[in-house]
């Protein structure tokens, strides 16, 4: 632990994080801190390394150097499933759901119980599971589609389903990669409303391009550019930062 | 949805009953002992096919090396039977009596250490399960923890099948070489060669097969079965839902290996010998074809597929021995292209609706519509 860098109340502390792919540094000496119950939005031009940062936190990509502390755990040394069990949830950019299963089964698999091989064999679909699945299905507007095969859902519904799958995991840190991309206007409004209910009592890290949406939800914004932080602070501050206007918002 | 909690729903129960009637009543009554023994031989492959439904159909792990596990199970059983057949009285003409004949021919003068425990039937039964499970675990752990999958995994399992064949053939003194272990006679003093023994073994085998079918059904119906389907579809999503994907794959692979090994052990008992020709690449691929023809998502379909392909093999290869392998290859390609879900797919798409229609006409109250549960059918 780097003493003095890390007061206790940070949920996530990313320090000196670097990853290089064949010499190209996609993320370069990046440091930022997320507090409990904070909603942080990461913005930046294409190729800035936003998705890579999420990949590094959830263990999909291994860091070349640097540390990611989540509470008292070092995520860089953990496996993906251990990171999830520690309380980090990740939504992918394209809806990542199980087409061959029903909506109910999709949600049930994400229910945080019976995650070992033996646990999965003996898993019972009891009232607790059923109630929780129904509760989440109601929040993600899919209550009447529980028995439908997930492949028949629309794009927006698939995005909601994946958000629901994360919700049922009940993570302390929720990471969303472009949750409203490709959605219709009405779906977008519903999603914003959905996100506003699910971000309570947890920290959220969001990547998003829709500036209106970012303004609505962000507590703090981090602007990435070429793998480094260009600017950080409130939306107001970031919006008026000349560097940010030049590389990103000005376009 | 509430049906999911039960082990089998009604159509599945009917399917299992129909298979039971076929195997327990119709075939034994209508076939002579020779033909029934052929069915028994075919059914040993059905164990492999049922395992492949879990491993390949549900888990998406294509193993082209199930012959390895079939062989390991078969050799474990054969070693016990061979030792019993090689009692000092039976082998007194050998230069070293009391060891298997092929050892004597290869100038081996004492029983190798790894043969000794196979004097015990209890040990043998445990070994039939444990040895292949251990091998599958080691191969699975080495591959899946490193995220080797798909075609690469299939090729590696094939290489393992080739290696094991070469090893068995090369170590003639310990394994019986290319001839395998022949002249197996008794099981704990009970002669396995006469007709009535064949019939007893047949029913024992059918009972074991139903045991495996029920285990497979239990796995398919459990959350683990749904996780296998989910993994086949979106491996990363499963990983980032907190599951160790590698462990689930290892489990599915081990289950398939154990089923295959039980089939192999039955084979040694039924047919009375075991040889490397059931271990290598060609038999391993044939086993995959049985599953593909029967329907890789259907446990019962795999059993029917195995029986049909083997009947076809026996009848065609008698008349056109050199053409049979081409026919088999053509069959595989045709099934994959035209009927990706095999016989079971044809049944559920074309026959089942007609049957339902008839049943509904007869008893309109009794319409158990199994509300289109996705049930792991691939999205195509």
Contact B377 A90 (CB under 8 A): no
- For residue B135, what pLDDT is reported? 96
Q: What is residue B205's predicted lDDT score, i.e. its pLDDT?
A: 96
Q: Which of A60, A101, A147 sits opposite B230 (nearest CB)?
A: A101
Set of chain A residues whose Cβ sits within 8 Å of the Cβ of B244: 79, 81, 115-116
Task: Output B245-249 pairs: Cβ under 8 A, ≥24 positions apart.
Answer: B245/A81, B245/B144, B246/B140, B246/B141, B246/B144, B246/B145, B246/B147, B247/A116, B247/A117, B248/A117, B248/A120, B248/B59, B248/B224, B249/B59, B249/B61, B249/B140, B249/B144, B249/B149
- What B330-334 contacts at long range (C-beta under 8 Å, 24+ apart), as own/partner pairs, is B331/B289, B331/B293, B332/B289, B332/B292, B332/B293
Check B242 against A81: CB less than 8 A apart. yes
pLDDT for residue B96: 86
Q: Where is average pLDDT lowest: A161-165, B345-349, B354-358, B360-364?
A: B360-364
What is the longest distance spanned by two Cα atoms in chain A?
Answer: 58
CB-based contacts of B145, cutoff 8 Å, min separation 6: B246
User: Rounded distance, CA A111 to CA A104, Å?
Assistant: 11
Q: Do A123 and B378 touch (CB under 8 A)?
A: no
Most A CBs within 10 Å, among B147, B243, B244, to test the A interface: B243
**Is the CB of residue B143 less than 8 Å away from at least one CB of chain A?**
no
Q: What percent of chain B has pLDDT over 90?
A: 67
Minimal Cα distance from A88: which residue of B? B240
Measured between beta carbons, the chain A residues lying within 8 angstroms of B226 are 101, 105, 108-109
Query: How do beta strands A203-207 and A39-43 pair?
Result: parallel
Paired strand residues for A73: A70
The model's pLDDT over B256-313, given as tens digits with 9 standing for 90+, comes to: 999 999 999 999 999 999 999 999 999 999 999 999 999 999 999 999 999 999 998 8
pLDDT attached to residue A195:
84
Q: Which helix (H) or strand (E) holds A77?
A: none
Domains observed in chain A: 10-249 (3.40.50.300)
Residue-wise pLDDT tens digits, B105-114:
998 889 999 9
Helices marked H in A59-125:
80-86, 103-110, 117-122
Query: Is the pLDDT confidence value at B190 over 60?
Result: yes
Contact between A121 and B240 using a beta-carbon 8 Å cutoff:
no
Helices (runs of H) and strands (runs of E) counted in chain A: 10, 10
Lowest mean pLDDT segment, chosen from A191-200, B23-32, B188-197: A191-200
User: What CA–CA distances, in Å, run from B274 to B109, B166, B216, B263, B279?
Assistant: 23, 15, 26, 12, 9
Task: Record the tokens describing residue A242, joined without a space.
Answer: 């000349």
Local confidence band at B380 (pLDDT 50, 70, 90 cut-offs): very low
Instruction: Sketch the domain layout of chain B as residue ranges.
Output: 2-365
Contacts of A64 (CB under 8 A, 6+ apart): A18, A19, A20
Write out residues in chain A with pLDDT < 70, as ranges: 1-8, 250-251
- CA dihedral sign, ordered B374, B375, B376, B380: negative
Query: Are the beta carbons of A100 and B372 separated by less than 8 Å?
Result: no
Chain-chain contact of B222 with A85 (C-beta, under 8 angstroms): no
Q: Measured between CB atoms, which of B218, B233, B239 is closest to A81?
A: B239
- What is the rounded distance in angstroms from the CA atom of residue B281 to the CA atom of residue B65? 7
Of A80, A92, A117, the CB nearest to B251: A117
Gap between the terminal Cα atoms of chain A: 41
pLDDT at B279: 92
Q: How far is A115 from chain B (nearest CA, A)?
A: 6
A75 contacts in chain B (CB < 8 Å): none
Cα nearest neighbour of A94 on chain B: B237
Residue B232, pLDDT above cutoff 70: yes
Residue B365 has pLDDT above 70, yes or no: no
Q: Give the residue, B360 or A75, on which the prediction is more confident.
A: A75
The beta strands (E) that lie in chain A are given as: 10-21, 24-35, 39-43, 65-70, 73-74, 88-91, 173-177, 203-207, 220-225, 228-233
Q: How far is B328 from chain A (nearest CA, A)?
A: 30
pLDDT-based confidence at residue B370 (cuts at 50, 70, 90):
very low
CA distances from A76 to A60, A66, A100, A241 (A): 10, 8, 33, 32
Which of B229, B243, B251 is facing A101, going by the closest CB pair? Answer: B229
Does position B362 have pLDDT exceeding 90, yes or no? no
Q: What is the pLDDT of residue B375?
A: 46
pLDDT of residue A153: 92
Q: What percent of chain A is helix, strand and coil (3-state, nearest 5)?
A: 40, 25, 35
């Amino acid at each position: 632990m780097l003493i003095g860098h890390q007061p206790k109340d940070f949920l996530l502390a990313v320090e000196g994080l670097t990853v290089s792919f064949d010499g190209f540094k996609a993320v370069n000496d990046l440091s930022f801190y997320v507090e409990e119950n904070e909603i942080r939005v990461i913005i930046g031009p294409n190729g800035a390394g936003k998705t890579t940062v999420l990949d590094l936190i959830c263990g999909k990509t291994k860091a070349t150097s640097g540390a990611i502390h989540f509470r008292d755990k070092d995520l860089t040394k953990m496996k993906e499933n251990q990171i999830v069990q520690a309380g980090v949830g990740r939504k992918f950019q394209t809806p990542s759901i199980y087409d061959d299963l029903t909506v109910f089964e999709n949600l049930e698999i994400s229910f945080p119980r019976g995650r070992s091989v033996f646990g999965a064999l003996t898993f019972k679909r009891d009232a607790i599971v059923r109630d929780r699945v129904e509760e989440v299905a109601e929040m993600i507007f899919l209550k009447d589609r529980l028995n439908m095969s997930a492949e028949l859902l629309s794009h927006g519904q698939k995005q909601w389903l994946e958000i629901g799958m994360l919700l049922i995991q009940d993570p302390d840190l929720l990471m969303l990669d472009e949750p409203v991309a490709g959605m219709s206007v009405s779906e977008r409004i519903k999603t914003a409303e959905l996100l506003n209910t699910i971000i309570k009592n947890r920290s959220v890290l969001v990547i998003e391009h829709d500036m209106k949406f970012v303004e609505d939800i962000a507590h703090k914004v981090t602007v990435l550019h070429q793998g480094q932080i260009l600017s950080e602070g409130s939306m107001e501050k970031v919006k008026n930062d000349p560097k940010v206007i030049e590389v990103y918002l000005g376009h | 949805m509430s049906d999911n909690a039960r082990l089998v729903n009604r159509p599945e129960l009917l399917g299992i009953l129909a298979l039971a009637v076929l195997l327990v009543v119709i075939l034994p009554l209508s076939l002579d002992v020779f033909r029934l023994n052929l069915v028994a031989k075919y059914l040993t492959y059905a164990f492999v096919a049922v395992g492949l439904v879990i491993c390949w159909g549900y888990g998406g792990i294509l193993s082209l090396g199930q012959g390895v596990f079939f062989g390991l199970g078969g050799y474990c059983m054969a070693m016990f039977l061979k030792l019993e057949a090689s009692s000092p009285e039976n082998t007194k003409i050998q230069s070293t009596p009391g060891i298997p004949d092929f050892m004597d021919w290869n100038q081996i003068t004492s029983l190798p250490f790894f043969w000794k425990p196979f004097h015990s039937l209890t040990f043998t039964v445990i070994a039939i399960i444990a040895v292949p499970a251990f091998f599958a675990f080691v191969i699975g752990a080495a591959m899946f923890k490193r995220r080797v999958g798909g075609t690469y995994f299939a090729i590696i399992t094939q290489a393992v099948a080739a290696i094991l064949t070469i090893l068995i053939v090369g170590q003639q003194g310990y394994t019986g070489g290319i001839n395998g272990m022949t002249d197996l006679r008794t099981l704990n003093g009970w002669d396995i060669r006469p007709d009535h023994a064949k019939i007893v073994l047949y029913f024992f085998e059918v009972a074991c097969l139903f045991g495996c079918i029920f285990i497979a059904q239990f796995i398919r119906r459990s959350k683990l079965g749904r996780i296998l389907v989910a993994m086949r579809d979106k491996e990363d999503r499963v990983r980032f839902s907190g599951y160790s994907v590698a462990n689930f794959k290892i489990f599915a692979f081990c289950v398939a290996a154990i089923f295959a090994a039980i089939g192999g052990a039955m084979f040694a008992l039924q047919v009375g010998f075991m040889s490397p020709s059931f271990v290598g690449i060609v038999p391993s691929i044939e086993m995959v074809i049985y599953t593909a023809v029967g329907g890789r998502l259907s446990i019962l379909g795999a059993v029917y597929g195995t029986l049909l392909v083997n009947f076809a093999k026996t009848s065609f290869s008698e008349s056109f021995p050199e053409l049979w392998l081409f026919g088999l290859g053509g069959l595989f390609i045709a099934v994959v292209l035209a009927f990706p879900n095999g016989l079971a797919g044809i049944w559920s798409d074309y026959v089942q609706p007609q049957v339902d229609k008839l049943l509904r006409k007869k008893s309109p109250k009794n319409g158990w519509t199994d509300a289109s549960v996705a049930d792991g059918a691939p999205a195509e």
